[in-house]
């Protein structure tokens, strides 16, 4: 059976990947009633991080523009985790909350722009159902030296 959301992703040139394996003792997503909560999603591509390090401007840092792309990968991985729990992305009734963690160089203050990579992507995919509340937080370091980690809350239709 065809999925409207996966068809929209295909139009954007994207495919929902397999659910990334957990890197510690947790599950990628968990349903509680009409909500699915994801664990922090890293920007894995086929099991590896395409970039590592701190986000900022300057040599040896992950550029803010690249970090924004990585945030979109986090969102795509979150969709895989949700699909793994509820079966179809068409059951998503609302993107509720996005919490972005950005491993930041001490001088970097553009965490909201990095988080926009996930937020704007969800808007393109879900339209008005992609409108959500959000936090964007700078941190010293993330697991596996990832530049970005994002967790999500989705409301699900029964």
Q: For 77-94, what is each residue's pLDDT tens digit?
A: 999 999 999 999 999 999
pLDDT (average), residues 12-41: 94
Task: Let me know: does 36 contact 86? Beta carbons within 8 Å.
Answer: yes
pLDDT (average), residues 14-29: 92
Task: Let me know: does 55 contact 20? Beta carbons within 8 Å.
Answer: no
Query: Which are the contacts of 7, defined by CB distance < 8 A and separation ≥ 6?
Result: none
Give ∠ CA 15-45-140 in degrees, rounded to 5. Answer: 130
| pLDDT tens profile 95-154 | 999 999 999 999 999 999 999 999 999 999 999 999 999 999 999 999 999 999 999 999
Q: So what's the pLDDT on residue 20?
A: 85
The owner of tokens 């704007």 is 120
Task: Let me know: does 103 contact 55? Beta carbons within 8 Å.
Answer: yes
pLDDT (average), residues 55-72: 98
pLDDT more than 70, % of the chain: 99
Helix, strand or coil, per DSSP, at residue 77? helix
CA distances from 11 to 77, 100, 144, 152 (A): 18, 26, 32, 23
Q: So what's the pLDDT on residue 1?
A: 53
Q: Which of 45, 37, 53 is nearest to 20 (CA)?
A: 45
The model carries a pTM of: 0.96
Task: Let me know: does 110 contact 56? Beta carbons within 8 Å.
Answer: no
User: What strands lie across the sheet with 35-38, from one edge to the other?
Assistant: 29-32, 35-38, 148-156, 92-103, 133-139
**Mean pLDDT for all residues in the chain:** 96
A 10 A CB-CB count for 70 gives: 27
Q: So what's the pLDDT on residue 137?
A: 98
Q: So what's the pLDDT on residue 158?
A: 82
Q: So what's the pLDDT on residue 128?
A: 97
């Amino acid at each position: 059976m065809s999925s409207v959301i996966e068809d929209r992703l295909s139009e954007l040139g994207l495919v929902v990947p397999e659910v990334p394996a957990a890197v510690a003792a947790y599950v990628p997503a968990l349903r509680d009633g009409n909500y699915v909560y994801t664990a922090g999603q890293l920007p894995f591509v086929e099991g590896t991080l395409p970039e590592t390090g701190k986000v900022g401007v300057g040599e040896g840092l992950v550029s803010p523009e690249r970090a924004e792309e990585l945030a979109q990968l986090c969102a795509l991985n979150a969709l895989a985790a949700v699909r793994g729990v509820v079966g179809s992305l068409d059951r998503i009734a609302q993107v509720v909350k996005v919490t972005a963690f950005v491993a930041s160089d001490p001088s970097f203050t553009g965490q909201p722009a990095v988080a926009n990579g996930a937020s704007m992507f969800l808007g393109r995919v879900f339209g008005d159902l992609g409108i959500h509340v959000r936090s964007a937080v700078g941190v010293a370091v993330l697991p596996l030296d990832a530049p970005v980690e994002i967790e999500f809350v989705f409301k699900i239709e029964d």
